[in-house]
């Protein structure tokens, strides 16, 4: 099962390939986002144009993702604004919010982070305690968010907060847009992980001001669920292309080192390849005929698959997998790509909604089982 690429799609592929090969990206980051924006390559999947983005069909979005991965372009730092906030604003935002925020995202000029998870309410989003009190024309936000990706570099954060005093669970929540440059009112603390890096952060709000609420006050749960619904589709295929590149490195290492002669290891590598193909076919199927449980099924599949790949990489490396690239010192060590993948992938079944939460969603919303039955 695969997409059929027509003449227009192949012309789009040629244009994308020419542009990517002609624009060196260095280390990525903000400069690369602005370069993408200048080329009109941000916002391909938006349901509207006119904000500095170009439109692209679903097939063409897949083409762009394939070409982006093929040349080894860097990981995006603007994807939260482009892939999560922008579709949410198009669905729930007013015209002033669309005109203010979408062009800046499309130009690659403003970066966003997501203020959802909290201590004690990570996967249980409805249990959040961050509050926002109206003060004239603004809301003052107080509370703590955790596991906030890219918070150190973000210009803005979309925050789900409780705006109705005494409300419980999914009632009384609002979806607020909070500028991050508020010294004394917002503090970002990096969380150092076992990889030695700090992709995740804690964010503390102490009366931080927010003047924009998406949708109506108290309608935050509906908006938040709408945002979570777009965390699928082409982005899943992009992720799988990256997985394919990682698997390729592991396979080449196994062949070059000769350990592929081990029949047990060979069987595990072949199974890993076959499962990746099945995930791709399933992603393509759900793009053309989406269903309510597709995002949760995809998350369950790729989370454990990626963890197994990291484990396989270390099996292929053998004892060398336990040694770093340079001199080790407490609090400072360097990992190669496969070691980093192995350690970071331990979080794959937790972030973005833990496996337990995904099973609950499938049980309750797809199979119609009573709560707690999964």
Smallest CA-to-CA distance from 115 within 177, 56, 44 is with 177
CA angle 102, 43, 299 (to 5 degrees): 110
Catalytic residue among 35, 231, 311, 364: 231
Smallest CA-to-CA distance from 214 within 168, 157, 170 is with 157
Question: What residues does 162 pair with on adjacent strands?
Answer: 131, 173
Cβ distance 115 to 267 under 8 Å?
Answer: no
CA–CA distance, 311 with 368 (Å, rounded to integer): 35
CA–CA distance, 254 with 242 (Å, rounded to integer): 19
Smallest CA-to-CA distance from 20 within 34, 39, 3 is with 39
Place of tokens 């729930």: 92
Q: Collapsing DSSP states into helix, strand and coil, what is residue 294?
A: helix
Q: Which residues have C-beta within 8 Å of that of residue 235, sequence separation ≥ 6?
A: 79, 83
Q: DSSP code of 211? A: -
231 an active-site residue?
yes
What phi, psi does 39 have (nearest 5°)? -85, -5
The DSSP result for 179-195, as a single string, is ES--TTTEEEEE---TT
CA–CA distance, 15 with 25 (Å, rounded to integer): 17
Q: Distance between the two ends of the chain, CA-based, in angstroms? A: 31
CA–CA distance, 269 with 258 (Å, rounded to integer): 13
Residues forming the active site? 231
């Amino acid at each position: 099962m695969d997409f059929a690429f027509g003449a227009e799609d192949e012309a789009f592929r040629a244009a994308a390939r020419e542009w990517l090969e002609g624009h060196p990206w260095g280390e990525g980051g903000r400069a690369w986002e602005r370069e993408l924006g200048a080329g009109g390559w941000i916002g391909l999947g938006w349901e509207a144009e006119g904000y500095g983005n170009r439109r692209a069909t679903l097939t063409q979005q897949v083409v762009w993702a394939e070409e982006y991965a093929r040349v080894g372009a860097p990981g995006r730092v603007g994807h939260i604004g482009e892939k999560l906030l922008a579709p949410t604003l198009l669905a729930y935002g007013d015209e002033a919010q669309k005109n203010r925020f979408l062009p800046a995202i499309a130009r690659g000029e403003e970066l966003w982070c997501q203020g959802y998870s909290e201590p004690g309410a990570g996967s249980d989003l409805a249990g959040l305690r961050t509050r926002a009190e109206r003060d004239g024309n603004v809301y003052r936000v107080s509370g703590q968010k955790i596991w906030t990706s890219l918070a150190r570099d973000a210009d803005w954060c979309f925050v789900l907060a409780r705006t109705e005093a005494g409300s419980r669970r999914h009632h009384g929540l609002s979806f607020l847009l909070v500028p991050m440059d508020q010294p004394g009112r917002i503090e970002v603390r990096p969380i150092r992980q076992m990889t030695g890096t700090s992709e995740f952060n804690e964010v503390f709000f102490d009366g931080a001001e927010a003047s924009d609420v998406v949708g109506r006050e108290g309608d935050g749960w509906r908006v938040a669920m709408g945002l979570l619904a777009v965390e699928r589709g082409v982005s899943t295929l992009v992720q799988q292309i990256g997985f394919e590149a990682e698997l390729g490195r592991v396979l080449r290492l196994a062949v070059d080192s000769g350990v592929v002669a081990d029949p047990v290891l060979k069987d595990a590598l072949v199974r890993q390849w076959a499962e990746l193909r099945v995930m791709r076919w399933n992603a393509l199927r759900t793009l053309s005929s989406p269903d309510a449980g597709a995002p949760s099924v995809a998350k369950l599949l790729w989370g454990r698959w990626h963890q197994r790949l990291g484990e396989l990489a270390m099996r292929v490396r053998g004892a060398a997998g336990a040694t770093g690239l340079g001199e080790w010192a407490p609090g400072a060590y360097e990992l190669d790509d496969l070691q980093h993948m192995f350690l970071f992938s331990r979080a794959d079944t937790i972030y973005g909604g833990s496996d337990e939460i995904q099973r609950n969603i499938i049980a309750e919303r797809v199979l119609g089982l009573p709560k707690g039955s999964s």
